[in-house]
Amino acid sequence: MTGERLDADWTSGPRQAPGEGGLAGLVRHDLRILRTYLSLGVLNLVQYRSDFVLSVVNAVITLATQVLGLSVVFGQTTDLAGWGPYDLLVLIGVHFLIGGVLGLVVRPSMEAMMEGIRLGTFDFTLVKPADSQLLASVQVVRPQALVDVLVGLGVVVFGMTRVQASLSVVDVVLSLLTLLCGLVVVYSFILALSTMAFWFVRLDNVLAIFQSLFGEAGRWPVTIFPGWLRIVLTFAVPVAFAVTVPSEALTGRLTYTSALSAAGLALLFFAASRWFWFFALRRYTGASA
Amino acid sequence: MTAITVDRLHKTYLVPEREGGLRAAVGALVRRRRREVHAVTDVGFTIEPGEVVGFLGPNGAGKTTTLKMLSGLLHPTSGTATVLGHVPWERDRRYLGQMALIMGQRNQLQWDIPVLDSYKLNQAVFRIPDADFKARVEELSELLALEELLRKPVRNLSLGERMKCEIAGSLLHAPQVLFLDEPTIGLDVAMQRRIRSFVAEYNRRTGACVMLTSHYMADVEALCRRVIVIHHGRLLFDGALEELVHRFAGDKTINVELADEHPLDPAALGPLVDGHAVERSATGFSVRVPKAETPRVAARLLAGLPVSDLVIEEPPIESVIEQVFEATSAEVDGG
Ligand SMILES: Nc1ncnc2c1ncn2[C@@H]1O[C@H](COP(=O)(O)OP(=O)(O)OP(=O)(O)O)[C@@H](O)[C@H]1O
Ligand SMILES: [Mg+2]
């Protein structure tokens, strides 16, 4: 022995150990994990200063292109399937916002998870005393994406001041709820896609395909697409609910049907993807070596 | 109460036999061609709290697979195990909160963020109270000399530095059971020694039970009084380390230095050493004889030859282990 000694308290456990305290204990634990991961991720912003500048440039270019696209369209017409130019600007804002949230934590975490499954480091996610799905979903934070979130918020607010719709408190609450539902739907969808990495170890392209679908189709209200494509965009790649429904709410054109179906679909997608997640975990054998 | 109980544990991997690529993967969905790999077969043992057990076996023996089952990563094909009263693969948070799995080949710390931030994530996950967290980080960083490292992102650390940080990070929640899978792999001798004595101290201080795999016998000799040996997924030996040497090393080596230029006559030497093969060196010879005969042979050599020096050696543990594996390989291959 080299005279090493341990003196700290190594025998006392946590006041509330993981898994204790019933449902309330679990929820509190989950929330603490979520808060810690997100706040640490964002605090590490300084490490990514150059990335950050790049993502500002990127956001500005993307926004400019999209606004330019809008002005071209609205040079020809004043109304696109019932949507005016500022309605569509709100939609672009929502698109930015949701893309930002996905890019902030969901997509980098899912990419890290697929990589982890390939390399075997996913093992460490499973030996932690916490909800595996939660850990896998928040493990990496890419703070640059905050730029998109902020740009999105700004554009939404700007667009809304120009739209003639007057929103009541209820409308605002509904908007936030549908936004949340939209996020849940897309999150569940990405989770389910990524979960397939348990079977197909090389799946890197899947998220890229989703990203381009979301990036291209999500910038327009699904109502402008022909019927069959609308169905695809609603159920197969749930872009519609993520972007269109919250934008409807924000521009005062939300119907109760779409609000309710957004909520229903969010629950359904979430439950299904979670079931699929645990189904996949039972089959997990890890990488050898 | 025993800390770990394992009974008739089996793990069979189904390895799909297919080419790479999505096309072949989709093909494999339709017609599954799979091969069975029996990684662990009928393994059973019990470990008491506070024990440090070496878990030995050649590459592919099933050590990692066993540890993965005990840490809840894998469901066994059949058999049972309880660790601290829990079935590991049920992954009860109350169990996982008292367990740590450390793998020398993989790291769990996040690549891009400073080490200390990864520790803070662990603090949230394991619900470690602030006071304990601070005290333990301080102490571990003192013992393992982490001071300089804690603020660096993991990607900027060397292999050895990373391993130290990994180990410290895995112990912050003061686990009662530790599974160490080749924790010293790739480290230099000084670092190996440091980690070894650290594990010993952790065990002494916390009474945690430790299962350790390593291909470095120095780790095992320093830490483990008891070893469990598996080979081809089967349990081969479970007992004291000396007992392993005693049981499997039937021989000792006698090294003899001769006084002067003695015309060593093989014919005369033969009877002295009971006909065992003699290896000549510049100034003498060495001979391996069965343990029980060592005293007699040594006495005869001393009486019959102008001996200037005579040393009797136990074979090194490495060669004993090697012998064990070779012997059973032949058995398995032959039958
Ligand atoms: N995820 C896996 N899928 C399929 N086969 C696997 C998997 N992991 C291990 N194996 C196989 O199971 C057997 C036991 O492997 P294991 O990793 O447990 O050996 P080990 O004793 O840890 O060896 P080493 O000393 O090389 O680490 C090997 O034949 C290996 O090829
Ligand atoms: Mg191994």
Residue of A11, A29, A285 lying closest to B206 (CB–CB): A11
- Residue B161's H or E segment, with its range, is helix B159-171
The beta-carbon neighbor of B75 closest among A37, A135, A282 is A282
> What total of structural domains would you count in chain A?
1
Asked if B215 and B149 sit in the same domain, the reply is yes
Task: Write the residue with the smallest CA distance to atom 12 of ligand 1.
Answer: B39
Examine the domain organization and report whether B58 and B140 are in the same domain.
yes
B28 domain-assigned:
no
Which of B73, B95, B100 is facing A286, going by the closest CB pair?
Answer: B73
Q: Which of B25, B112, B198 faces A4 most closely, judged by CB atoms? A: B198
Is the Cβ pair A127, B73 closer than 8 Å? Answer: yes
Using the beta-carbon criterion (under 8 Å), do B139 and A199 form an inter-chain contact?
Answer: no
Segment holding B321, helix H or strand E: helix B317-334
CB-CB: which of B64, B101, B110 is closest to A127? B101
Q: Contact B125/A18, CB-based, under 8 Å?
A: yes
Q: Would the CB atoms of A126 and B91 count as touching at under 8 Å? A: yes
The CATH number given to whatever domain includes residue B305 is 3.30.70.980
Q: Chain A within 8 Å of B143 (Cβ-Cβ)?
A: yes
The more confidently predicted of residues A251 and A164 is A251
Q: Are residues B89 and B173 in the same domain?
A: yes
- Please report the residues numbered 119 through 178 in chain A whose beta carbons come closer than 8 angstroms to any beta carbon of chain B: 119-121, 123-124, 126-130, 132, 135, 139-140
Are B144 and B192 part of one and the same domain? yes
- Do B240 and B300 lie in one domain? The reply is no
Residues B218 and B104 grouped into a single domain: yes
Looking at the structure, tell me whether residues B144 and B259 fall in a common domain: no
Distance separating alpha carbons of residues A185 and A191, to the nearest angstrom: 10
B167 shares a domain with B91: yes
CATH value at residue B73: 3.40.50.300
For residues B16-22, average pLDDT: 67
DSSP state of A218: T
Residues of A in contact with B96 (CB under 8 A): 18-19, 127-129
With a pLDDT cut of 90, the percent of chain B lying above it is 48
Chain B residue at shortest CA distance from A46: B113
Compute the distance from residue B231 Cα to the ligand 2 centre, in Å.
12
> Is A10 close to B143, i.e. CB distance below 8 A?
no
Mutate: best of A4, A37, A138, partner B, most B CBs <10 A: A4
- For range A169-196, the mean pLDDT: 91
Domain membership of residue A5 (yes or no) is no
Confidence of residue A241 (pLDDT cuts 50, 70, 90): confident
Measured by CA distance, the residue closest to atom 8 of ligand 1 is: A288
Count: domains in chain B:
2
The reply to whether A177 falls in a domain is yes
Cβ atoms of B184 and B10 within 8 Å: the answer is: no
Does B319 reside within a domain?
no
Q: What is the pLDDT of residues B57-95, one digit of tens each?
A: 988 999 999 999 999 999 999 999 999 999 999 999 999
Residue B19 lies in a domain: no
Tell me the residue range of the domain where B302 lies: 250-313
How many angstroms is it from B58 CA to the middle of ligand 1?
Answer: 11
DSSP code at position A232: I
Domain end (from B198, B221, B246): B246
- Mutate which of B36, B65, B69 for ligand 1 pocket (most atoms within 8 A of beta carbon): B65
Shared-domain flag, residues B238 and B271: no
> Could you tell me if residue A8 is inside a domain?
no
Question: Which among A59-73, A212-226, B78-92, B317-331 has the top mean pLDDT?
Answer: B78-92
Same structural domain, B272 and B173: no
Lowest mean pLDDT among A227-231, A258-262, B59-63, B272-276: A227-231
Residues in chain A within 8 Å Cβ distance of B74: 284-286
B105 and B172, same domain (yes or no)? yes
Q: How far is the CA of A188 from the centre of ligand 1 (A)?
A: 33
- How much distance in Å is there from the Cα of B138 to the middle of ligand 2? 31
Q: Do A129 and B112 touch (CB under 8 A)?
A: no
Locus of tokens 């609910």: A241
Specify whether B117 is located in the same domain as B227: yes
Whether residue B300 lies inside any domain: the answer is: yes
Distance CA(B46)–CA(B61), nearest Å, equals: 19
If you measure from the C-alpha of residue B168 to the centroid of ligand 1, how many angstroms do you get, rounded to a whole number?
Answer: 26
Q: Which pair of tokens denotes residue B258?
A: 């001769």
Q: Is residue B16 part of a domain?
A: no
> Is residue B322, in this structure, part of any structural domain at all?
no
Q: Are strands B284-290 and B251-258 parallel, antiparallel or unpaired?
A: antiparallel
Closest CA to B152 of B114, B122, B199: B114
Rounded Cα–Cα distance for residues A171 and A259 (Å): 11
Looking at the domain assignment, is residue B110 inside a domain? yes
Quick one: tokens of B39?
Answer: 């990684």
Convert the pLDDT of each residue in B280-323 to its tens digit: 888 888 888 888 888 898 998 888 888 889 998 877 777 777 77
- Residue B242 C-alpha to ligand 2 middle, in angstroms? 24
Q: In the numeric block, which tokens belong to residue A41?
A: 């991720």
B99 belongs to a structural domain: yes
Helices (H), A77-223: 85-101, 107-119, 123-126, 132-138, 146-162, 169-195, 204-217
- Asked if B103 reaches chain A (Cβ–Cβ under 8 Å), the answer is yes
The pLDDT-based confidence of B334 (bands split at 50, 70, 90) is very low
Give residue B262's pLDDT band: very low, low, confident or very high (50, 70, 90): low
Closest Cα in chain A to B102: A124
pLDDT value, residue B332: 54
Please classify residue B93 by burial: count the beta carbons closer than 10 Å to its beta carbon, then call 0-12 exposed, 13-18 middle and 19+ buried.
buried
**pLDDT of A233 over the 80 cut:** no
Q: Which residue of B has its CA nearest to A40?
A: B117
Q: What is the pLDDT of residue A9?
A: 73
Range of the domain at A168: 23-285
Per-residue pLDDT of B178-213, as tens digits, reads 999 999 988 889 989 989 989 999 999 899 999 999
The mean pLDDT of chain B is 87
